[in-house]
Structure 1
């Protein structure tokens, strides 16, 4: 029905291997590392050519939905839909649901390109040549995966053994190998027929659905039911939880790719990394003459082969070699690069203590349907936040029992309601909202609104909110009860 490819972007995964920048509530696909864009945004840009791709389908979960929508808006990418997985059931059910949704919009002959959103990829001519080969192979009724040309005998990746060549330029996928031992990986690289399993796929919808019907019919039934009973939540399509939860918890690799006899692999020599550790971030980054990868706001003296990143404070390193220093807004990690695979043990130790558990779960920046806020400073009976509101958006009409708020406009124009009064405030102007007073904040302008909010009071939790009116479908109070934000 369409010659354009329909991208399906998987963006629901959680992970803390790149702590402290990555948290369970703000995983690596939504975090800026060395560049100015997140991995999710870079993925969107790779499929942004309208002559080649249709608007993408994004799969994520309810917790990340506002991050995904806001980051797409920031770079001007329109989405076909954002599908919300009610629970994690691996990639098999997710890909099946996306394929069925795409079939409704684009027809059964459309080509899907399934991509993870947490890879570092150099989208050069080699990359797009591989995409072209994959598309032609999918049109020839193959289920296609991209096999990355390995640069080392890595034991953290799965492998694909390539078989005989196909007319399209791909090769038959002979077998899939789970993460091997080092000696096995060395032998596989020597053979020249093994490739890293990238987790990226391309297939015609009808071909995939037919194979699911044969090899994993229970996944297809549950995905169809989850889609048939899905509900729209603002701009998001929320899959039916009871139906989706009945699906087997299985990857598309196990469910289909390893069983089908029509699998093909495209040998892919383009630059690719799953950024699974700080060591891999250092390896893929642009190193200076001393072998350092350093973000802005850092100073390195007599230091070599190291990684320095910061999302706030200035980082200064002297006389070190082979280390990672990573500073977020609220935590700093220091460790050896060659031991960075063990960050998970540090995260586990932090998560076990109530005093530090939040550092593994929550990022200082929280997204809402209207924009979001960043926690700047917390103290006894006060906290400071940076609030950002997208153009044309507004917060709910609300009040707080235990805190007062002071707003200072930093950028843009704010429409502020306090009690019965409505006023427009511009840069450097401020307003005070007493505890218990009904208020609302809106951005009537064409540019993002930013302000500094200073909260004071006996209790400053986010659950101290009585919401009286809301345009985003969130619960509103009918009798003055407190509601979560």
Structure 2
């Protein structure tokens, strides 16, 4: 690892609608302890807590969540560099533009979503170290997650020729595929999942935005020039920020830039994008049940059961997802949790 410190950028603007009824607009999934005792935001911040390697993080989030973010980070003793509070959701390109414009041009930024699980944190640090020389030389670096199955819910990265033993040039990005294409990519072996983690110099990202997404750069720059500031909070001007096109960083920049590198890595990664994904993370009991809260299971197998209040008692059933909160109880077959939006109205 180089002697300079990398600045983490934690993107925390997601709504987490697929994990309804626990995840809701006022407290989406990144603020919930879904996969450990820490909330997902806290776990993300803790990954880059080593001050020998990483500078304090920039948090980019929804303005409505400012108090929650400050409280959760204070609870684990993590002091961010700043909290950039978006007045409206404008996808990841605008969020990353805000971060790149808020640091020195030569700063190297590590962008991470706040709502992903990474079980192999040491592997993340090693992958970042492998990517740093390329980021310093002007490459936009992404991290390709080693696929474990033919997943249709993720984008993919096609690896081109190796640049060294750990890093490849990116041949192309691929949108979420149909199952036959996902199975073919898994069999081929030259593909990785796109986990949405990036490493780059701020100036290089700004130059790429200038070339490929100039309106996003112009509007975010204008919104920051007129921003209100209070303590750690930076509140971009709403009308200027609203003028940003809502585009992902992949579409706006990464798919178009000429010097994009990928570090393939096995991170034990999940985007926890559904209740089924959370079930796969475990740990499960001998009957295959994953339960949290006050739960009583008799002759019940392969279920995900979580209660935030009332006791849930189940007898003689299998392969169900049961989520109970103070004002909602959701029951559906395991394997169909992507259909939650039909219940939540999201």
Shorter chain as denominator, the TM-score bin is over 0.9
- The whole-number CA distance in structure 2 between the counterparts of 1:332 and 1:224 is 44
Q: Please give the secondary structure, in 2, of the residue aligned with 1:335.
A: strand
* Preserved CA contact (<8 Å) 1:158 1:179: yes
1:153 counterpart = 2:119: no
- The whole-number CA distance in structure 1 between the counterparts of 2:53 and 2:310 is 42
1:35 counterpart = 2:36: yes
* Preserved CA contact (<8 Å) 1:82 1:236: yes
Q: CA deviation at 1:212?
A: 1.8
Q: 1:272 to 1:34 in 2, by over 3 A?
A: closer
1:371 is aligned to: none
* Preserved CA contact (<8 Å) 1:61 1:84: yes
- The whole-number CA distance in structure 2 between the counterparts of 1:287 and 1:128 is 29
- The whole-number CA distance in structure 2 between the counterparts of 1:131 and 1:8 is 14
- Once the two structures are overlaid, the 10-residue window that deviates more, 309-318 or 265-274, is 309-318
1:140 counterpart = 2:141: no
Decide which of 174, 178, 200 is 1:177's aligned counterpart.
174
- The whole-number CA distance in structure 2 between the counterparts of 1:132 and 1:310 is 41
- The whole-number CA distance in structure 2 between the counterparts of 1:228 and 1:245 is 14
Rg comparison, structure with higher value: 1
Q: How do 1:169-318 residues align onto structure 2 when only pairs under 5 Å count?
A: 169-318=166-315
Q: Please give the secondary structure, in 2, of the residue aligned with 1:17.
A: helix
Q: CA deviation at 1:338?
A: 1.1
* Preserved CA contact (<8 Å) 1:97 1:224: yes
1:62 counterpart = 2:59: no
Decide which of 320, 324, 332 is 1:323's aligned counterpart.
320
Residues 207-251 of structure 1: CA deviation (Å, up to 9, x unaligned): 212222222222222221111111114541100112211222211
Moved over 6 A (4+): none
Q: CA deviation at 1:174?
A: 0.4
* Preserved CA contact (<8 Å) 1:294 1:309: yes
Residues 282-314 of structure 1: CA deviation (Å, up to 9, x unaligned): 001212221111124222221111111122222
* Preserved CA contact (<8 Å) 1:34 1:295: no
Q: CA deviation at 1:2?
A: 7.2
Q: How do 1:397-436 residues align onto structure 2 when only pairs under 5 Å count?
A: none
Q: CA deviation at 1:168?
A: 6.5
Q: CA deviation at 1:47?
A: 1.1
Residues 420-442 of structure 1: CA deviation (Å, up to 9, x unaligned): xxxxxxxxxxxxxxxxxxxxxxx
Structure possessing the higher relative contact order (Cα contacts under 8 Å, 6 or more residues apart): 2
Q: TM-score, normalised by structure 2?
A: 0.96
1:413 is aligned to: none
Unaligned residue ranges in structure 1 (runs of 5+): 352-485
- The whole-number CA distance in structure 1 between the counterparts of 2:134 and 2:299 is 52
Q: CA deviation at 1:135?
A: 2.0
Q: Please give the secondary structure, in 1, of the residue aligned with 2:336.
A: helix
Unaligned residue ranges in structure 2 (runs of 5+): none
More helix by share: 2
- The whole-number CA distance in structure 1 between the counterparts of 2:53 and 2:313 is 45
- The whole-number CA distance in structure 1 between the counterparts of 2:93 and 2:117 is 23
Q: Please give the secondary structure, in 1, of the residue aligned with 2:149.
A: coil
Q: CA deviation at 1:89?
A: 1.1
Q: 1:44 to 1:249 in 2, by over 3 A?
A: same
* Preserved CA contact (<8 Å) 1:46 1:123: no
- The whole-number CA distance in structure 2 between the counterparts of 1:202 and 1:36 is 28
Q: Please give the secondary structure, in 1, of the residue aligned with 2:16.
A: coil
